[in-house]
Amino acid sequence: MRYYKKVLANGLRVITVPVKETKAVTVLIIFKVGSRQENRGWGGVSHFLEHLMFKGTKRRPSTLDISKALDEVGAEYNAFTTKDHTGYYIKINYERLDLALDMLSDMLQNSLFDPREIEREKGVIAEEINMYEDNPLMYVEDVFEQTVFGKDHPLGRLIIGSRASVKKLSRSQIIDYYARHYLAKRAVIVVAGPVKAEITKKVNRYFSKLKPGNIEKKLLSQKTKQPTLRINLIKKKTEQIQLCLGFPTLASSDPRRYALGLLTIILGGNMSSRLFISIRERQGLAYYIRADANFYEDNGTFLIQAGLDKSRLVQAIEAILKELEEVVKEPVTQAELRKAKEFIRGKTVLELEDSSNLAVWYGRQEALEGKIITPEERYNRIKKVTRSEINKIAKQIFRQSKLNIALIGPIGDISKIRGAVRGRL
Protein backbone atom coordinates (compact mmCIF):
# COMPACT_ATOMS: atom_id res chain seq x y z
CA MET A 1 0.00 0.00 0.00
CA ARG A 2 1.46 3.35 -1.07
CA TYR A 3 1.80 6.32 1.23
CA TYR A 4 3.31 9.78 0.89
CA LYS A 5 5.33 11.74 3.40
CA LYS A 6 5.96 15.48 3.48
CA VAL A 7 7.45 17.74 6.14
CA LEU A 8 5.99 21.19 6.64
CA ALA A 9 8.16 24.25 7.28
CA ASN A 10 7.47 24.03 11.02
CA GLY A 11 8.65 20.39 11.12
CA LEU A 12 5.24 18.68 11.24
CA ARG A 13 5.35 15.39 9.35
CA VAL A 14 2.36 14.73 7.09
CA ILE A 15 1.55 11.16 6.01
CA THR A 16 -1.05 10.69 3.29
CA VAL A 17 -2.53 7.23 2.73
CA PRO A 18 -4.82 7.25 -0.34
CA VAL A 19 -7.64 4.68 -0.23
CA LYS A 20 -10.05 4.66 -3.18
CA GLU A 21 -12.47 2.02 -1.87
CA THR A 22 -14.04 4.18 0.85
CA LYS A 23 -15.85 7.45 1.32
CA ALA A 24 -14.60 7.84 4.90
CA VAL A 25 -11.46 9.78 5.75
CA THR A 26 -9.60 9.70 9.05
CA VAL A 27 -7.43 12.55 10.27
CA LEU A 28 -5.14 11.50 13.12
CA ILE A 29 -2.47 13.52 14.84
CA ILE A 30 -0.01 11.85 17.22
CA PHE A 31 2.34 13.57 19.63
CA LYS A 32 5.25 11.60 21.00
CA VAL A 33 4.41 12.18 24.63
CA GLY A 34 2.77 9.93 27.20
CA SER A 35 2.94 8.98 30.84
CA ARG A 36 6.59 7.94 30.64
CA GLN A 37 7.58 11.57 29.90
CA GLU A 38 5.89 12.94 33.01
CA ASN A 39 7.84 14.52 35.87
CA ARG A 40 7.55 13.03 39.33
CA GLY A 41 4.44 14.32 41.03
CA TRP A 42 2.78 15.10 37.70
CA GLY A 43 1.20 11.66 37.30
CA GLY A 44 -1.69 11.64 34.83
CA VAL A 45 -0.96 15.03 33.24
CA SER A 46 -0.71 13.57 29.70
CA HIS A 47 -4.12 11.95 30.03
CA PHE A 48 -5.60 15.04 31.74
CA LEU A 49 -4.39 17.26 28.90
CA GLU A 50 -6.04 14.95 26.38
CA HIS A 51 -9.39 15.47 28.16
CA LEU A 52 -8.99 19.25 28.22
CA MET A 53 -8.56 19.48 24.45
CA PHE A 54 -12.29 18.81 24.12
CA LYS A 55 -13.35 21.48 26.65
CA GLY A 56 -13.49 24.55 24.42
CA THR A 57 -11.43 26.89 22.24
CA LYS A 58 -11.58 30.61 21.48
CA ARG A 59 -13.86 29.96 18.50
CA ARG A 60 -15.77 27.09 20.09
CA PRO A 61 -15.97 28.05 23.79
CA SER A 62 -17.59 24.89 25.15
CA THR A 63 -17.57 21.12 24.86
CA LEU A 64 -20.99 21.29 23.27
CA ASP A 65 -19.73 23.62 20.54
CA ILE A 66 -17.15 20.99 19.59
CA SER A 67 -19.30 17.89 19.88
CA LYS A 68 -22.36 19.43 18.21
CA ALA A 69 -20.42 20.44 15.10
CA LEU A 70 -19.08 16.90 14.67
CA ASP A 71 -22.25 15.06 15.70
CA GLU A 72 -24.27 17.00 13.12
CA VAL A 73 -22.30 15.33 10.32
CA GLY A 74 -22.12 11.86 11.93
CA ALA A 75 -18.38 11.99 12.59
CA GLU A 76 -16.53 9.61 14.90
CA TYR A 77 -14.00 11.35 17.11
CA ASN A 78 -11.95 10.65 20.20
CA ALA A 79 -8.47 10.68 21.67
CA PHE A 80 -6.18 8.28 23.49
CA THR A 81 -3.18 8.47 25.78
CA THR A 82 -0.60 5.71 26.09
CA LYS A 83 2.70 5.42 27.89
CA ASP A 84 4.64 6.87 24.97
CA HIS A 85 2.24 8.81 22.74
CA THR A 86 -1.04 10.72 22.62
CA GLY A 87 -3.41 10.76 19.65
CA TYR A 88 -6.46 12.72 18.49
CA TYR A 89 -8.61 11.65 15.56
CA ILE A 90 -11.73 12.45 13.57
CA LYS A 91 -13.24 9.96 11.11
CA ILE A 92 -15.66 11.69 8.79
CA ASN A 93 -17.31 11.75 5.36
CA TYR A 94 -14.51 12.83 3.04
CA GLU A 95 -16.69 15.71 1.82
CA ARG A 96 -16.31 17.17 5.33
CA LEU A 97 -12.52 16.85 5.46
CA ASP A 98 -12.06 20.58 6.01
CA LEU A 99 -14.21 20.41 9.14
CA ALA A 100 -12.01 17.65 10.58
CA LEU A 101 -8.79 19.57 9.85
CA ASP A 102 -10.23 22.82 11.17
CA MET A 103 -11.56 21.20 14.35
CA LEU A 104 -8.35 19.36 15.25
CA SER A 105 -6.16 22.37 14.52
CA ASP A 106 -8.44 24.61 16.59
CA MET A 107 -8.47 22.22 19.56
CA LEU A 108 -4.72 21.63 19.51
CA GLN A 109 -3.70 25.26 19.01
CA ASN A 110 -6.42 27.32 20.69
CA SER A 111 -7.73 25.40 23.71
CA LEU A 112 -8.80 27.65 26.59
CA PHE A 113 -7.71 25.53 29.57
CA ASP A 114 -10.54 27.14 31.49
CA PRO A 115 -9.83 26.91 35.25
CA ARG A 116 -13.44 25.90 35.94
CA GLU A 117 -13.22 23.07 33.41
CA ILE A 118 -9.93 21.90 34.90
CA GLU A 119 -11.45 21.58 38.37
CA ARG A 120 -14.57 19.91 36.99
CA GLU A 121 -12.54 17.42 34.98
CA LYS A 122 -10.61 16.31 38.05
CA GLY A 123 -13.85 14.83 39.30
CA VAL A 124 -14.46 13.11 35.97
CA ILE A 125 -11.02 11.51 36.03
CA ALA A 126 -11.48 10.40 39.65
CA GLU A 127 -14.58 8.53 38.46
CA GLU A 128 -12.58 7.07 35.57
CA ILE A 129 -10.04 5.76 38.09
CA ASN A 130 -12.91 4.23 40.08
CA MET A 131 -14.19 2.57 36.92
CA TYR A 132 -10.82 0.92 36.23
CA GLU A 133 -10.28 -0.21 39.79
CA ASP A 134 -13.79 -1.67 39.93
CA ASN A 135 -13.11 -3.66 36.75
CA PRO A 136 -10.25 -6.12 37.43
CA LEU A 137 -10.36 -7.36 33.82
CA MET A 138 -9.30 -3.88 32.67
CA TYR A 139 -7.04 -3.06 35.61
CA VAL A 140 -4.90 -6.18 35.93
CA GLU A 141 -2.65 -5.42 32.95
CA ASP A 142 -1.69 -2.08 34.53
CA VAL A 143 -0.89 -3.91 37.76
CA PHE A 144 1.18 -6.39 35.75
CA GLU A 145 3.29 -3.67 34.12
CA GLN A 146 3.83 -2.07 37.52
CA THR A 147 5.10 -5.46 38.66
CA VAL A 148 7.47 -5.86 35.70
CA PHE A 149 8.91 -2.34 35.67
CA GLY A 150 8.32 -1.11 39.22
CA LYS A 151 6.27 1.92 40.28
CA ASP A 152 9.32 4.21 40.02
CA HIS A 153 10.12 3.22 36.43
CA PRO A 154 8.53 5.49 33.75
CA LEU A 155 6.82 2.46 32.19
CA GLY A 156 5.50 1.33 35.55
CA ARG A 157 3.45 4.49 36.02
CA LEU A 158 -0.29 4.37 35.55
CA ILE A 159 -1.31 6.37 32.49
CA ILE A 160 -4.30 7.82 34.32
CA GLY A 161 -2.26 8.83 37.37
CA SER A 162 -3.62 8.61 40.92
CA ARG A 163 -6.42 10.51 42.64
CA ALA A 164 -3.82 12.43 44.63
CA SER A 165 -1.58 13.34 41.67
CA VAL A 166 -4.51 14.44 39.49
CA LYS A 167 -5.99 16.53 42.30
CA LYS A 168 -2.69 18.39 42.74
CA LEU A 169 -2.27 19.33 39.07
CA SER A 170 -2.45 23.07 38.53
CA ARG A 171 -3.40 25.02 35.42
CA SER A 172 0.15 26.36 35.12
CA GLN A 173 1.59 22.83 35.21
CA ILE A 174 -0.81 21.69 32.49
CA ILE A 175 -0.02 24.68 30.25
CA ASP A 176 3.70 24.23 30.83
CA TYR A 177 3.46 20.54 29.88
CA TYR A 178 1.47 21.42 26.77
CA ALA A 179 4.03 24.05 25.73
CA ARG A 180 6.95 21.64 26.13
CA HIS A 181 5.45 18.69 24.29
CA TYR A 182 2.73 19.74 21.84
CA LEU A 183 5.18 20.83 19.17
CA ALA A 184 5.25 20.32 15.41
CA LYS A 185 8.60 18.51 15.32
CA ARG A 186 7.29 15.99 17.85
CA ALA A 187 4.09 15.29 15.95
CA VAL A 188 2.80 13.36 12.94
CA ILE A 189 -0.49 13.92 11.17
CA VAL A 190 -2.00 11.20 9.00
CA VAL A 191 -4.81 11.60 6.48
CA ALA A 192 -6.14 8.22 5.33
CA GLY A 193 -8.99 7.84 2.87
CA PRO A 194 -10.05 8.92 -0.66
CA VAL A 195 -7.57 11.80 -0.83
CA LYS A 196 -4.56 12.69 -2.96
CA ALA A 197 -0.98 13.38 -1.98
CA GLU A 198 -1.60 17.10 -2.61
CA ILE A 199 -3.61 17.21 0.61
CA THR A 200 -0.40 18.44 2.27
CA LYS A 201 -1.15 22.01 1.15
CA LYS A 202 -4.49 21.90 2.91
CA VAL A 203 -2.93 20.46 6.08
CA ASN A 204 -0.35 23.23 6.02
CA ARG A 205 -3.11 25.85 5.92
CA TYR A 206 -4.52 24.57 9.20
CA PHE A 207 -1.39 23.49 11.10
CA SER A 208 1.36 25.89 9.98
CA LYS A 209 0.99 27.90 13.20
CA LEU A 210 1.81 24.92 15.42
CA LYS A 211 5.07 25.89 17.13
CA PRO A 212 8.09 24.00 15.73
CA GLY A 213 9.96 23.22 18.96
CA ASN A 214 12.90 20.84 18.94
CA ILE A 215 13.14 17.21 17.92
CA GLU A 216 13.01 15.04 21.04
CA LYS A 217 16.36 13.73 22.19
CA LYS A 218 16.90 10.02 21.74
CA LEU A 219 15.42 8.16 24.67
CA LEU A 220 18.03 6.71 27.02
CA SER A 221 17.40 3.01 27.52
CA GLN A 222 15.74 2.33 30.86
CA LYS A 223 16.16 -1.40 31.37
CA THR A 224 14.81 -3.22 34.37
CA LYS A 225 16.75 -5.47 36.72
CA GLN A 226 14.94 -8.54 38.00
CA PRO A 227 16.90 -11.20 39.89
CA THR A 228 13.93 -13.32 40.92
CA LEU A 229 10.19 -14.03 40.71
CA ARG A 230 7.83 -11.12 41.49
CA ILE A 231 4.23 -11.48 42.68
CA ASN A 232 1.91 -8.49 43.07
CA LEU A 233 -1.42 -9.07 44.77
CA ILE A 234 -4.38 -6.70 45.07
CA LYS A 235 -6.97 -8.15 47.43
CA LYS A 236 -10.52 -7.57 46.30
CA LYS A 237 -13.86 -9.24 47.02
CA THR A 238 -14.73 -10.79 43.69
CA GLU A 239 -16.08 -14.11 42.51
CA GLN A 240 -13.31 -14.52 39.98
CA ILE A 241 -9.57 -13.96 40.21
CA GLN A 242 -7.89 -12.00 37.44
CA LEU A 243 -4.41 -13.29 36.65
CA CYS A 244 -1.73 -11.66 34.51
CA LEU A 245 1.47 -13.67 34.18
CA GLY A 246 4.46 -12.82 32.04
CA PHE A 247 7.99 -11.60 31.40
CA PRO A 248 9.99 -8.54 30.31
CA THR A 249 10.92 -8.86 26.64
CA LEU A 250 12.07 -6.80 23.67
CA ALA A 251 12.22 -3.24 22.39
CA SER A 252 10.10 -2.32 19.37
CA SER A 253 13.18 -2.10 17.13
CA ASP A 254 14.40 -5.63 17.98
CA PRO A 255 14.16 -7.88 14.90
CA ARG A 256 13.25 -10.82 17.18
CA ARG A 257 9.87 -9.22 17.79
CA TYR A 258 8.46 -11.01 14.73
CA ALA A 259 9.32 -14.40 16.20
CA LEU A 260 7.85 -13.36 19.55
CA GLY A 261 4.71 -12.11 17.82
CA LEU A 262 4.18 -15.47 16.14
CA LEU A 263 4.86 -17.32 19.40
CA THR A 264 2.22 -15.14 21.07
CA ILE A 265 -0.36 -16.14 18.44
CA ILE A 266 0.48 -19.83 18.78
CA LEU A 267 0.23 -19.73 22.57
CA GLY A 268 -2.82 -17.55 23.08
CA GLY A 269 -3.71 -15.35 20.14
CA ASN A 270 -6.94 -17.00 19.03
CA MET A 271 -9.50 -19.72 19.81
CA SER A 272 -7.36 -22.51 18.35
CA SER A 273 -4.23 -21.52 20.31
CA ARG A 274 -2.50 -23.85 22.75
CA LEU A 275 -3.61 -22.05 25.89
CA PHE A 276 -7.23 -21.68 24.77
CA ILE A 277 -7.49 -25.37 23.91
CA SER A 278 -5.65 -26.61 27.00
CA ILE A 279 -6.79 -24.22 29.75
CA ARG A 280 -10.35 -23.57 28.62
CA GLU A 281 -11.52 -26.35 26.33
CA ARG A 282 -9.83 -29.40 27.87
CA GLN A 283 -9.43 -28.47 31.54
CA GLY A 284 -12.24 -25.93 31.96
CA LEU A 285 -10.09 -23.69 34.14
CA ALA A 286 -10.99 -20.36 32.51
CA TYR A 287 -13.60 -18.77 30.32
CA TYR A 288 -11.24 -16.02 29.19
CA ILE A 289 -7.55 -16.51 28.40
CA ARG A 290 -5.24 -14.71 26.02
CA ALA A 291 -1.58 -14.01 25.30
CA ASP A 292 -0.22 -10.67 24.14
CA ALA A 293 3.03 -8.80 23.60
CA ASN A 294 3.64 -5.09 24.13
CA PHE A 295 6.65 -3.32 22.62
CA TYR A 296 8.09 0.01 23.75
CA GLU A 297 11.08 1.98 22.52
CA ASP A 298 13.49 0.31 24.93
CA ASN A 299 11.52 -2.49 26.60
CA GLY A 300 8.60 -4.81 26.17
CA THR A 301 6.42 -7.39 27.87
CA PHE A 302 4.89 -10.76 27.10
CA LEU A 303 1.79 -11.59 29.12
CA ILE A 304 -0.89 -14.21 29.60
CA GLN A 305 -4.16 -13.02 31.11
CA ALA A 306 -6.97 -15.19 32.44
CA GLY A 307 -10.09 -14.95 34.58
CA LEU A 308 -10.11 -17.90 37.01
CA ASP A 309 -12.17 -19.65 39.65
CA LYS A 310 -10.51 -18.79 42.98
CA SER A 311 -10.47 -22.45 44.05
CA ARG A 312 -8.51 -23.49 40.93
CA LEU A 313 -5.97 -20.68 40.71
CA VAL A 314 -2.92 -22.79 41.57
CA GLN A 315 -3.99 -25.53 39.17
CA ALA A 316 -4.39 -22.96 36.39
CA ILE A 317 -0.95 -21.41 37.00
CA GLU A 318 0.64 -24.86 36.91
CA ALA A 319 -1.15 -25.64 33.65
CA ILE A 320 -0.09 -22.36 32.03
CA LEU A 321 3.54 -22.82 33.05
CA LYS A 322 3.44 -26.35 31.68
CA GLU A 323 2.46 -24.96 28.26
CA LEU A 324 5.38 -22.53 28.43
CA GLU A 325 7.74 -25.35 29.35
CA GLU A 326 6.54 -27.37 26.36
CA VAL A 327 7.26 -24.57 23.91
CA VAL A 328 10.74 -24.14 25.42
CA LYS A 329 11.54 -27.87 25.18
CA GLU A 330 10.25 -28.48 21.67
CA PRO A 331 9.94 -26.16 18.66
CA VAL A 332 6.41 -25.34 17.55
CA THR A 333 5.18 -27.48 14.67
CA GLN A 334 5.42 -26.44 11.07
CA ALA A 335 1.62 -26.48 10.86
CA GLU A 336 1.31 -24.16 13.87
CA LEU A 337 3.82 -21.75 12.37
CA ARG A 338 2.08 -21.70 9.00
CA LYS A 339 -1.33 -21.09 10.61
CA ALA A 340 0.04 -18.29 12.81
CA LYS A 341 1.52 -16.52 9.79
CA GLU A 342 -1.74 -16.80 7.87
CA PHE A 343 -3.69 -15.60 10.91
CA ILE A 344 -1.59 -12.43 11.11
CA ARG A 345 -1.91 -11.87 7.38
CA GLY A 346 -5.69 -12.26 7.41
CA LYS A 347 -6.16 -10.21 10.57
CA THR A 348 -4.09 -7.36 9.14
CA VAL A 349 -6.14 -7.30 5.93
CA LEU A 350 -9.39 -7.04 7.89
CA GLU A 351 -8.10 -4.36 10.25
CA LEU A 352 -6.66 -2.16 7.51
CA GLU A 353 -9.93 -2.00 5.60
CA ASP A 354 -10.81 0.77 8.08
CA SER A 355 -9.28 4.21 7.44
CA SER A 356 -8.84 4.83 11.19
CA ASN A 357 -6.76 1.66 11.61
CA LEU A 358 -4.69 2.64 8.59
CA ALA A 359 -4.02 6.04 10.13
CA VAL A 360 -2.87 4.44 13.39
CA TRP A 361 -0.66 1.94 11.51
CA TYR A 362 1.30 4.65 9.69
CA GLY A 363 1.14 7.38 12.32
CA ARG A 364 2.33 5.32 15.27
CA GLN A 365 5.36 3.99 13.40
CA GLU A 366 6.41 7.41 12.14
CA ALA A 367 5.88 9.07 15.53
CA LEU A 368 7.64 6.45 17.66
CA GLU A 369 10.27 4.99 15.35
CA GLY A 370 10.80 7.65 12.70
CA LYS A 371 10.32 5.11 9.92
CA ILE A 372 7.46 3.17 8.39
CA ILE A 373 7.12 -0.47 7.43
CA THR A 374 4.17 -1.10 5.14
CA PRO A 375 1.84 -4.06 5.81
CA GLU A 376 3.44 -5.90 2.88
CA GLU A 377 6.97 -5.33 4.20
CA ARG A 378 5.93 -6.47 7.68
CA TYR A 379 4.40 -9.66 6.38
CA ASN A 380 7.52 -10.42 4.30
CA ARG A 381 9.56 -10.27 7.52
CA ILE A 382 7.07 -12.49 9.29
CA LYS A 383 7.18 -15.05 6.46
CA LYS A 384 10.91 -15.51 7.00
CA VAL A 385 10.62 -16.49 10.69
CA THR A 386 11.59 -20.12 11.35
CA ARG A 387 10.61 -22.65 14.01
CA SER A 388 14.11 -22.54 15.48
CA GLU A 389 13.92 -18.74 15.86
CA ILE A 390 10.67 -19.06 17.79
CA ASN A 391 12.15 -21.77 20.00
CA LYS A 392 15.22 -19.62 20.63
CA ILE A 393 13.21 -16.60 21.74
CA ALA A 394 11.06 -18.81 23.99
CA LYS A 395 14.20 -20.09 25.74
CA GLN A 396 15.54 -16.55 26.14
CA ILE A 397 12.35 -15.08 27.61
CA PHE A 398 10.54 -17.82 29.53
CA ARG A 399 12.74 -18.07 32.62
CA GLN A 400 11.51 -18.44 36.18
CA SER A 401 13.76 -15.67 37.50
CA LYS A 402 12.09 -13.22 35.11
CA LEU A 403 8.53 -14.31 35.82
CA ASN A 404 6.01 -11.71 37.03
CA ILE A 405 2.56 -12.51 38.37
CA ALA A 406 -0.16 -9.92 39.03
CA LEU A 407 -3.39 -10.95 40.75
CA ILE A 408 -6.63 -9.20 41.65
CA GLY A 409 -9.12 -11.06 43.79
CA PRO A 410 -9.89 -12.69 47.14
CA ILE A 411 -6.48 -14.26 47.79
CA GLY A 412 -5.19 -14.53 51.33
CA ASP A 413 -1.93 -16.44 50.95
CA ILE A 414 0.52 -16.50 48.03
CA SER A 415 2.69 -19.34 49.39
CA LYS A 416 0.81 -21.89 47.28
CA ILE A 417 1.42 -19.74 44.20
CA ARG A 418 5.13 -19.72 44.93
CA GLY A 419 4.93 -23.48 45.31
CA ALA A 420 3.27 -23.79 41.91
CA VAL A 421 6.10 -21.84 40.28
CA ARG A 422 8.95 -23.57 42.10
CA GLY A 423 10.91 -25.86 39.83
CA ARG A 424 9.23 -24.54 36.66
CA LEU A 425 11.01 -23.12 33.63
Q: Which domains are delineated in the chain?
A: 4-207 (3.30.830.10), 230-421 (3.30.830.10)
To which H or E segment does residue 289 belong? strand 286-295
Low-confidence ranges of the chain (pLDDT < 70): 218-222
Over the stretch 81-124, which tens digit does the pLDDT of each residue have? 999 999 999 999 999 999 999 999 999 999 999 999 999 999 99
- Give the per-residue pLDDT at 196: 82
- Residue among 21, 38, 50, 353 flagged as catalytic: 50
- Give the per-residue pLDDT at 220: 62
Q: What count of residues does the chain have? A: 425
Residues 6+ apart with CB under 8 A from 189: 12, 13, 14, 15, 27, 28, 29, 30, 203, 207, 363
Residue 98: count of CB within 10 angstroms of its CB: 12
Widest pairwise Cα distance in the chain: 65
3-state secondary structure of 252: coil
Residue 352: count of CB within 10 angstroms of its CB: 17
For residue 382, give the nearest of 240, 300, 260 by alpha carbon.
260
Over the stretch 375-397, which tens digit does the pLDDT of each residue have? 999 999 999 999 999 999 999 99
- Asked if 50 is an active-site residue, the reply is yes
- Give the per-residue pLDDT at 68: 98
- Give the per-residue pLDDT at 413: 85
- Give the per-residue pLDDT at 221: 60
Over the stretch 140-193, which tens digit does the pLDDT of each residue have? 999 999 999 998 899 999 999 999 999 999 999 999 999 999 999 999 999 999
**What gap in Å lies between CA 230 and CA 150, rounded to an integer?**
10
**What gap in Å lies between CA 34 and CA 53, rounded to an integer?**
15
- Give me the phi and psi of 350, to 5 degrees please: -65, -45
- Give the per-residue pLDDT at 108: 98
- Give the per-residue pLDDT at 288: 94
